[in-house]
Amino acid sequence: MDHARRLQILASYWLIISSLASCNEGNVTSPGPGAAIEFRHRSADARENRIAAGQKRDYPGSRVAAEAAVCVSASSPAASYRFRVEASGLQHGDNLADEVSVLPGECAVVYSRTDRLPEGGPVTLITISQAESRGVVENVVASDDANGTRSSFDPITLPINSNHGGFATYSFAGTAPSLDVSCSPNSVVLPTTSTTTLTCTVASRGGFSGQVRLQGTSTPAGITVVSFDEVYSLGSDGIAQIPVALTLTEGSVGAYYSATIVAVSGSVSGESTLSIRATANVARVNVIYLVPSDRSINQAALRGMERAIRHLQIWFANELGTGETFTIPTPFVRVYRSTNPAAWYNTNPAGGDASLQFWLNVTNEGFARTGGSFSDPDDIWLFYVDAETGPGQIVGGTSGVAVLPGPDVRGVAGQDPLQGTCRWVGGLGHEFGHALGLGHPPSCEGGPGSCPTEALMWFGYIKYPSAVLTDADRTVLAGSPFFSGDVSASSNLFDCASALSLRGTAVRHHVPTNSVANRSRSECGYRVLLRLPRTFL
């Protein structure tokens, strides 16, 4: 409680005690909260009409013994008004509602005394105040047995004992409803042909609730602004936090652009303007979805892959705490249809170590489709493939590349009946870490010190996003060309298990050209894999 509010309550209390001392219905025998007060003589029958705190009472209000209530005038704008309740001098068995919500033309009991004390018993002071700004308080009328009916102010204090009660009626002025929109960050740095995620907070003003839509207007060519879902509901507090995909498909390096984001709910709207500075297209993190010839594109997985890489872009920025994160290029997910069936990946002889057969078949095909390679200085390649590994075959990441098989495809789609989606987002983060050069914590593999089990690069990915980076991880990433301050992103993690549709997912579909069964593998990358077999999980 702030100082000004304490002074208001103390002033109200002094007026109440002064009034009670001269009231012709009783006299004060002790001047403090909870003091014994004799009132002469309200009918004891009034006590029989009491109801529990928090329940509604008929409007307009009335004085009910042993009860305090708050009402909202019927002329107030339509809204749910919340009030906070505090008490001084509570007695054993008293019933207090810490907070109540009241509609126009309605009253709610905030306090009731359950024990019948002789001669009315001690006084309890009940202080009522507006809990949130849902409108301008135009007037407060208080009515209690000590002071009668009077105009007052917020907060209001009522003296209550077993034989006497009171209520306060708030009247709110009509205000034009509006929406306030603020996006974070609102000053964005973004490489050309890349995307990032913002969080736009929409708050209703004027006491209304409902559904809200976000849309980009006045956006230059090459800039798109798309909310993850089409419609959002304002919460009970009148606020919605909306993740938004901001994409720069073209632009001049160093140029500044502006885009306006508009929130609309019926005839009510609000807007926020973004400032965007285009930077050079730096090293990128590419998500590739390989679809075997005997499988269909899993649309839920496609959306899940975008959701996962966007979530990791924010998570890494938050963990590093330096304002740096990685770049997601457009299209966000590239889909390649293979000429090979799913079984080919675990049966086609790739040479060398049999445990690497699946991994090599995926990377060989992936490189043929994308033009990628191991240890590419400009690109990380994250290959999802809707196929299963054979016995003893490994998957994982190293040297700028990661391979994620069928279970990961279904996992990010939310189609794993045993493990939540976030675990599979964490799994992508773990293998992405290996592709960046992060290893397992040495202390978890027999080295000195205690094992940080919550580390992303150990078993922390299972509990993602609660996983953490170790100091050693941060040191490696500080020197990585894939992490840059030239990428802005929200610091607010959206729900990694959300089923939101991620509308407007940017994908590129590629038709098959020729089989890559006989394509030669990268010897350099292969030797790295043979030397670092423990980089895989």
Pick the range with the lowest mean pLDDT from 317-321, 348-352, 436-440, 504-508: 504-508
Q: Tokens standing for 118?
A: 């002789």
Give the CA radius of gyration of the chain: 32
∠ CA 395-398-402, nearest 5°, is 50
Among left, alpha and beta (phi > 0; psi -120 to 50; other), residue 334 is: beta
* Confidence check: pLDDT of 406 > 50: yes
Q: Is the dihedral of CA 291, 421, 402, 357 positive or negative?
A: negative
What backbone phi and psi angles, to 5 degrees, belong to 17?
A: -65, -40
What percent of the chain has pLDDT above 90? 56
The residue extents of the domains of the chain are: 3-173, 178-279, 284-518
How are strands ordered across the β-sheet holding 268-279? 187-191, 268-279, 256-265, 211-217, 232-233
Q: Which residues contact 329 (CB under 8 A, 6 or more apart)?
A: 193, 194, 195, 281, 284, 285, 286
What backbone phi and psi angles, to 5 degrees, belong to 41?
A: -130, 105
* Confidence check: pLDDT of 323 > 90: no
Average pLDDT, rounded, for the chain? 82
How far apart CA 364 and CA 358 sit, in angstroms, is: 10
Instruction: Give me the residue label for tokens 């590093």.
Output: 320
* Confidence check: pLDDT of 114 > 90: no
What letter does residue 356 receive in the DSSP assignment?
Answer: G
Three-state DSSP class for residue 355 = helix
Please give the model's pTM, rounded to 2 decimal places. Answer: 0.67
Three-state DSSP class for residue 170 = strand
| Residue 482 near residue 436, CB atoms below 8 Å | yes
Q: Tokens standing for 333?
A: 């997910």
Report the residue count for the chain: 537
How far apart CA 127 and CA 166 sit, in angstroms, is: 11
For domain 284-518, give its CATH number from 3.40.390, 1.10.10, 3.30.1600, 2.60.120.
3.40.390
Three-state DSSP class for residue 262 = strand
Three-state helix/strand/coil letters over 6-75: HHHHHHHHHHHHHHHHHCCCEEECCCCCCCEEEECCCCHHHHHHCCCCCCEECCCCCCCCCEEEEEECCC
How far apart CA 372 and CA 275 sit, in angstroms, is: 34
Q: Which residues contact 13 (CB under 8 A, 6 or more apart)?
A: 33, 88, 125, 157
For domain 178-279, give its CATH number from 3.20.20.70, 3.90.1170.40, 2.40.50.140, 2.60.40.10.
2.60.40.10
Q: Which amino acid is at 53?
A: A
Across-strand partners of 193? Answer: none
**Mean pLDDT in residue range 153-159:** 90
pLDDT confidence of residue 51? 57
| Residue 361 near residue 344, CB atoms below 8 Å | yes
Q: Which of 185, 190, 168, 178 is nearest to 249 (CA)?
A: 190
- pLDDT band with cut points at 50, 70 and 90 for residue 36: very low
pLDDT confidence of residue 132? 72
